[in-house]
Amino acid sequence: MSAPATQAREALARPGLAAAALPWIALLAAASPVLADLFRDLALGPKHHYLGLPALLLALALARAPRSGRAPRRPGPGALALALGLALVLAGLAGEASFLARLGLPLAALGLGLLRGGPPPLLLALAFWLVPLPNSLLGLASPDLEAALGRLVAATLALPGLPVRCEGLTLVGPAGAHLDLRAENGGLLLAHCLAGVGALAAALSGAGWRSAARAAGLGAALALPLQPLAVLGAAGLVAAREPELARLWLSSASPLLASGAWLCWLRRGALSWRGAARAPA
């Protein structure tokens, strides 16, 4: 048997460890249809690929978190959050309301964590960031927002004489190359991504609720200048007659690149997380 497998068996054999894991295994098993639906969406929907980095950060933070029982147990709020979360999961599955069921899973996990005294409530609360934004929310400012971005980008590229124009929600380039701007290209997904990366990076560094909220706000604000730049890059690819690359850039590459750069800036200590962690949150 391999060394990792042996170590895993030895860890589970430690007194109390397997028993501590049983409630979490039961919760994941009960919510397995929600998890399967969520993973399918993340894998098959390019507009949700940006959630990969926040998911990795959350996994790292949970792996470094203290074991259950290290924090004070809060049975009242924990039982309420667990019951409400499970109710949302059941209601969402029964009514085929996937967003409702997905919201219920992190809420139930938060309740279980409060009941058992760990992992830290901040990390469990940040799991809400792994719930993809629903189309109804993305469409609140659509199509006006995408149309405005398209006109702005077309006017900018007209200055150096690049042959790209905006026709409604479509960026049109030479030789029939074109790119349709969608509701997810308005910037809300990027704001969601950068906010989640900021909050999770702060939590990973040991900061508290205030620092995580501050990082989330700064990340969301960064989307205001970065989304027009992302659309500008896509329009440049349309001008180069590469509409497929433009779609890939706008849907997946630019959010991942922006969130990776934001994470690197945070991890260099630009916001002094360690100092913030020593201050009361």
Proportion of the chain above pLDDT 90, given as a percent? 46
pLDDT at 12 over 50: no
**C-alpha span between 153 and 166 (Å, rounded):** 8
pLDDT at 233 over 60: yes
- Contact between 162 and 236 under an 8 Å Cβ cutoff? The reply is yes
pLDDT at 251 over 60: yes
- pLDDT tens across 151-166, in order? 999 999 999 988 999 9
pLDDT at 279 over 70: no
Give the pLDDT confidence score for residue 16 in this predicted structure. Answer: 55
Q: State the SS3 of the chain.
A: CCHHHHHHHHHHHCCCHHHHHHHHHHHHHHCHHHHHHHHHHHHHCHHHHHHHHHHHHHHHHHHHCCCCCCCCCCHHHHHHHHHHHHHHHHHHHHCCCHHHHHHHHHHHHHHHHHHHCCCCHHHHHHHHHHCCCCHHHHCCCCCHHHHHHHHHHHHHHHCCCCCCEEECCEEECHHHCEEECCHHHHCHHHHHHHHHHHHHHHHHCCCCHHHHHHHHHHHHHHHHHHHHHHHHHHHHHHHCCCHHHHHHHHHHHHHHHHHHHHHHHHHCCCCCHHHHHHCCC
pLDDT at 218 over 90: yes
Higher pLDDT, 45 or 205: 205
Give the pLDDT confidence score for residue 15 in this predicted structure. Answer: 47
- pLDDT tens across 169-191, in order? 999 999 889 999 999 899 999 99
Higher pLDDT, 124 or 15: 124
- Contact between 174 and 238 under an 8 Å Cβ cutoff? The reply is no
**C-alpha span between 200 and 189 (Å, rounded):** 16
**C-alpha span between 157 and 180 (Å, rounded):** 17
Give the pLDDT confidence score for residue 258 in this predicted structure. Answer: 94
Specify the length of the chain in residues. 281
Q: Quote the pTM value.
A: 0.81
Give the pLDDT confidence score for residue 17 in this predicted structure. Answer: 57
Give the pLDDT confidence score for residue 18 in this predicted structure. Answer: 60
Q: Is the bond leading into 132 cis (omega within 30 degrees of zero)?
A: no
Cα 156 to its chain centre, rounded Å, is 31
Give the pLDDT confidence score for residue 226 in this predicted structure. Answer: 96
Give the pLDDT confidence score for residue 276 in this predicted structure. Answer: 45
